[in-house]
Amino acid sequence: MQDGADGADAQFFARLAQLNDKFAASLPHTLARLAAARHAFDPACPHGAPLDEMQALLHTLAGSSATFGFRALGQQARLLEQRLRVFTTFDAVAAGDWDDWLGAVDAFVAWGLHDPKSAYPNDETVV
């Protein structure tokens, strides 16, 4: 009976490794989509497809990154998503606040494309 359990464990971990590799391989494309939506976004008209795309991508990254070994990436995506959700609850957001947030998205994408398993620059939440 032990051999069957060991075989099932080996299959599970092999499949998990495949999923990890698939996630890592898809990350540059996902981040490129986030960057494209960010550049299509107009803070003067903060509604529509680019905003929806950024929210969906950040939500997906926040929810799945840690599962595949990208804990800091997931944490930062969650912070960006939460801040975006706050912005969308207001009738108006100051241009400077949008600029700060969009700059944070740019920094997130650049870091994610460079070394997404490293500690996030200036992240005081990672110990």
Question: CATH no. for residue 105?
Answer: 1.20.120
> Above 60 in pLDDT, residue 98?
yes
In 3D space, the residue among 77, 84, 100, 85 whose CA is nearest the CA of residue 31 turns out to be 77
CA-CA distances (angstroms) from residue 60 to 27, 42, 77? 11, 22, 9
The answer to the question of residue 18 being in a domain is no
The answer to the question of residue 33 being in a domain is yes
More confident residue, 8 or 102: 102
DSSP SS3 for 48: coil
> Above 90 in pLDDT, residue 108?
yes
Contact present, 102 and 38 (Cβ < 8 Å): yes
* Structural domain for 31, as ranges: 27-114
Residue 15 identity: R
Q: What's the domain count of the chain? A: 1
The answer to the question of residue 125 being in a domain is no
Residue 117 pLDDT grade (very low, low, confident, very high; cuts 50, 70, 90): confident
The answer to the question of residue 19 being in a domain is no
The answer to the question of residue 20 being in a domain is no
